[in-house]
Structure 1
C-alpha cells in the first residue's frame, strides 16, 4: 500500500512537471513534493525499525507458540526474560 501511494505521487509529480495538465496549481505541486519527501523519510526509517524489533518479536513468539509442557518451561521463561530485558534497551 505504501509503495503504491508513493508511486502514485511520483507519477503525479511527473505529470505536473510536463505541464500537460490544464488544472495545474502551485499548492498541489508543493503538496505532492512534500508527500514524496515524507514518504522517502519514512521508507528510510521503516527498515531499521523492523530490524530493531525482530529480536523482541522472536522472544515473545517463542514464549507464545512453544507448547505449555514442563520440558519447555525453562526456554519459555528465558524467552520472556529476554523479551523484558530487550524492551527497555
Structure 2
C-alpha cells in the first residue's frame, strides 16, 4: 500500500480537524507544519485484525538450560 502524504500548516489544520482525520482514515499521512517547520505526523493507527495463534512457531525458539543461572563474578567486574 502506497502512503500518500499531505502537508498542512497548523493554521489551516485548526479549522479542518475532522477533514484531516477523514483523510487519515482513508490512508493519507498528514504532516503538520508551522511555516516550513514540521511539527507532527497524523497517521492511522494500525489495527491487526488477525487473531494470534498459540503454538504457531513451536520449536523455532529455544532457551538454554542455564538461562537463569547466576552470572560469573567476572561479568560484573570486567564489564561483560
Normalised by the length of structure 2, the TM-score is 0.24
Which protein has the bigger helix share?
A: 1
> Rg bigger for which structure?
2
